[in-house]
């Protein structure tokens, strides 16, 4: 029993010693683990204190991208407004009224036919169509203007036309109240300065000139006086009220002049008086300027007359302005600009020799 007890006690001691040994072993292990942990921590802390800071790796270069070209900004211009529709202006429509079919009037009508596209011609001497009937057609139509050639045509047109009137070939227009709100005129003779200039060119020795004219032509007289002063010519002017008075003035001046200036004033120059004036002038070797070449065979020396194309051109200008609504801007009378000069060579040569100058050697112009 004692053996057994001894064995049991020894066993308990052994077991206890084992337990103590085991406990000591565990403590050693824990100490070792703590030492290892501390060493690791120390190592880590030492490394953090002494190791250089890590460098960040440089980024790898990316692909080179060329900069996009700058695109200019083009601002759209506003579209222009559409062009205005072209307005087609119809050419003026003209009615020509002739006093008669005399060559002087017909020449103007023919020249006007070349000037205007739309033209109607009426002849007042044609009794088959009275003036009232002709103007009824004109007023009821689309005529823009009436062109009257000659005195009778001008008077009828101003009285009966409902559209503007342009008259020509009328010397004494002031006696018949032809100028008005809707009527204009073209002078019947070329400017006085142009006439005297042509005369002096044909007769350089011309020094003293006489002029007889009816009343109402103060403007022409002023033009003649200015032209005479410019050319160094002495001018004598008388205003007559009848053909007999005109002849009287002529007889008084013919002894003291070397040129007589005739104008187409039929109030004071009847056919009888004209023939007597020409006859006396020829006897005294006095040069005569006339407005119509048809008078050269009667004994006139030089003719300075109008040109039909020039008359038509001046009328055309007036009608165009009427067509444009500018009648108020047109002067009452429009002057001509072209002249036709014809010379009686034989008579001029004789007169020149009689006045002491050498005879002309060149022919007529």
Residues 6+ apart with CB under 8 A from 237: 210, 211, 212, 213, 221, 224, 225
CATH number at residue 121: 3.40.50.2300
Report the 10 Å Cβ neighbour count for 306. 23
Q: What distance in Å separates the CA atoms of residue 282 and residue 299, rounded to the nearest whole number?
A: 7
Describe the chain by its helix, strand, coil percentages, rounded to 5: 45, 15, 40
Give the pLDDT of residue 129: 87
Quick check: is 203 in a domain? yes
Q: Give the residues of the chain that fall short of pLDDT 50.
A: 1-26, 29, 31, 37, 40-51, 87, 353-365
Q: What distance in Å separates the CA atoms of residue 265 and residue 356, rounded to the nearest whole number?
A: 33
Per the structure, the count of domains in the chain is: 2
Quick check: is 39 in a domain? no
Give the pLDDT of residue 72: 55
Question: Do residues 229 and 181 share a domain?
Answer: no
Give the pLDDT of residue 239: 98
Question: Do residues 160 and 240 share a domain?
Answer: no
Give the pLDDT of residue 56: 55
Give the pLDDT of residue 37: 46
Give the pLDDT of residue 265: 97
| Entry pTM | 0.72
Quick check: is 270 in a domain? yes
Model confidence pLDDT, tens digit, residues 53-78 = 555 555 555 555 556 556 555 555 66
Question: Do residues 155 and 230 share a domain?
Answer: no
Domain, as residue range, for 163: 93-188+309-334
Quick check: is 199 in a domain? yes
């Amino acid at each position: 029993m004692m053996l057994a007890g001894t064995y049991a006690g020894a066993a308990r001691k052994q077991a206890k010693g084992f337990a103590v040994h085991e406990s000591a072993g565990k403590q050693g292990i824990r100490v070792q683990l703590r030492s290892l942990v501390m060493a690791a921590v120390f190592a880590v802390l030492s490394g953090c204190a002494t190791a250089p800071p890590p460098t960040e790796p440089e980024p790898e270069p990316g692909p080179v991208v060329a900069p996009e070209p700058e695109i200019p900004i083009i601002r759209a211009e506003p579209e222009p407004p559409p062009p205005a529709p072209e307005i087609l202006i119809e050419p003026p429509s003209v009615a020509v009224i002739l006093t008669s079919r005399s060559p002087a009037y017909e020449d103007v009508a023919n020249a006007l036919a070349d000037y205007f596209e739309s033209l109607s011609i009426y002849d007042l001497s044609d009794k088959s169509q009275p003036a009232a009937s002709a103007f009824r057609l004109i007023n009821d139509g689309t005529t823009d203007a009436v062109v009257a050639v000659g005195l009778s045509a001008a008077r009828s047109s101003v009285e009966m036309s409902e559209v503007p009137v342009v008259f020509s070939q009328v010397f004494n227009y002031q006696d018949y109240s032809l100028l008005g709100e809707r009527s204009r005129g073209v002078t019947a003779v070329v400017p006085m300065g142009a006439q005297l200039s042509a005369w002096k060119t044909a007769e350089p020795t011309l020094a003293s000139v006489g002029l007889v004219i009816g009343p109402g032509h103060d403007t022409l007289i002023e033009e003649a006086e200015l032209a005479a002063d410019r050319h160094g010519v002495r001018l004598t002017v008388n205003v007559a009220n009848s053909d007999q008075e005109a002849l009287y003035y002529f007889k008084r001046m013919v002894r003291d002049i070397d040129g007589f200036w005739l104008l187409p004033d039929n109030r004071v120059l009847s056919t009888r008086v004209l023939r007597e004036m020409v006859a006396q002038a020829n006897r005294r070797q006095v040069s005569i300027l006339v407005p119509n070449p048809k008078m050269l065979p009667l004994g006139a020396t030089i003719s300075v007359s109008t040109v039909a194309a020039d008359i038509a051109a001046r009328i055309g200008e007036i009608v165009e302005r009427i067509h444009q609504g500018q009648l108020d801007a047109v002067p009452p009378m429009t002057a001509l600009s072209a002249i036709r000069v014809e010379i009686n060579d034989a008579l001029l040569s004789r007169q020149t020799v009689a006045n002491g100058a050498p005879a002309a050697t060149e022919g007529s112009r």
